[in-house]
Amino acid sequence: MHDNVYTISVIPGDGIGNEVVPQGLRVLDAVSALYGFKLNYRHYDWSCERYKATGKMMPDDGISQLRDSDAVFLGAVGFPGVPDHISLWNLLIPIRREFDQYVNLRPVRLLPGVPSPLANKQAHEIDFWIVRENTEGEYSQVGGRMFAGTEHEFVTQEAIFTRRGTDRILRYAFDLAVRLERNHVTSATKSNGIFHSMPFWDERYAVVAADYPQVRADQYHIDILAARFVMSPERFDVVVGSNLFGDILSDLGPGITGTIAVAPSANINPERKHPSMFEPVHGSAPDIAGQGIANPIGQIWSAAMMLDHLGQADAAACVMRAIEQTLAAPDRRVTKDLGGSASTAELGDDILSRIGKS
């Protein structure tokens, strides 16, 4: 990054990724012109399409091609015909691992004009952040299967919690709570049922919390926490969880705020040694791909998170205002998933027309 010039690696990926990413780029172009910084894009066609043609999701030196960019802007990867383990393990997971993107960050915010399945919830009454550990924990490859096919068959599955990995995600959550001036963190645990890892998680939580006396630190077992997401989501500010618990909660979040089509996410390397990656929560949506009816808001909100990460907080806030004004407008043009009949590009137009107007 030099003098307000940023290099962005753009990977639209598969399916509706190709339809929503261009809307994200239009908004980024408009807002960067307005706020006086420049985004240089590098476009990559890495996808299942490419895999079918060449046998590779990305070239062998793919990671090093991305390494010196300031951020990765991703659509969605994965399509019927290519097994998930290929699209995941040959593209997304290498990027997350090589760039040590150990934080998966998701805002959970009820926007105006998006119906929540929870009755009586008004816009902004649900507004918190989920911080998910993204590199270790329950999703480990350590374990095995014995006596396969016999009646004595059994499997073991280990979870790995390092002190370094645990402390750094917890610390990120507390730093975020301070930065957002929310001063409240909730930990997802299950130390009453999981014998080794969760008591360790609680122990490290207490140690890290002690460094942030101004932050209220509470914790709930994952089962009751999930219930509280539904019963009283307004109580949360920053929720931190292990890889598995964070994964579950970060789908429950978009669940209580309406539709996954509007939800964004970020895979962050907080030390900024490597690029972070910004992508919508939704996938490539093969069922509607190619029709031009996908909702681009998840992608555009992800663009706002990227701007925030790049240090362009005012531009990020401007994008969020445009999204919210569009959703709240009586004459809004929204896509089918929100009850409208607008195309992807028309919803993009509507948001774009409000950039910088307030």
Which residues of this protein are in contact with ligand ATP, per CB under 6 A? 16, 20, 76, 78, 260-261, 282-285, 287-288, 294-295, 298, 337
Residue number with CB closer to ligand ATP (21 or 185): 21
Instruction: Tell me the C-alpha distance between 36 and 33, whole Å.
Output: 5
Nearest CA to 141 out of 154, 158, 127 is that of 158
Instruction: Report in angstroms how near the CB of residue 294 gets to ligand ATP at its nearest.
Output: 4
Instruction: Report in angstroms how near the CB of residue 264 gets to ligand ATP at its nearest.
Output: 11
DSSP class of 296: -
Is the CA virtual torsion 250, 255, 256, 262 positive or negative?
positive
Instruction: Report in angstroms how near the CB of residue 255 gets to ligand ATP at its nearest.
Output: 12
Q: What letters, b where the CB count within 10 A reaches 16 and e where it falls short, cover 320-330?
A: bbbbbbbbeee
Instruction: Tell me the C-alpha distance between 116 and 75, whole Å.
Output: 25
- How would you classify the pairing of strands 184-189 and 127-133? unpaired
Instruction: Report in angstroms how near the CB of residue 179 gets to ligand ATP at its nearest.
Output: 29
Residue number with CB closer to ligand ATP (137 or 280): 280
Cβ atoms of 233 and 256 within 8 Å: the answer is yes
Instruction: Report in angstroms how near the CB of residue 339 gets to ligand ATP at its nearest.
Output: 12
Helix runs in 237-290, H state only: 243-256
Residue number with CB closer to ligand ATP (61 or 287): 287
Instruction: Tell me the C-alpha distance between 184 and 54, whole Å.
Output: 49
Cβ atoms of 45 and 316 within 8 Å: the answer is no
Residue number with CB closer to ligand ATP (27 or 177): 27
Cβ-closest position to ligand ATP = 283
Residue number with CB closer to ligand ATP (89 or 154): 89
Residue number with CB closer to ligand ATP (16 or 315): 16
R_g over Cα of the chain:
21
φ, ψ dihedrals at 108, nearest 5°: -120, 105
Instruction: Report in angstroms how near the CB of residue 69 gets to ligand ATP at its nearest.
Output: 23
Structure-token match 């480990």, residue found: 140
Instruction: Report in angstroms how near the CB of residue 239 gets to ligand ATP at its nearest.
Output: 21
Residue number with CB closer to ligand ATP (88 or 178): 88
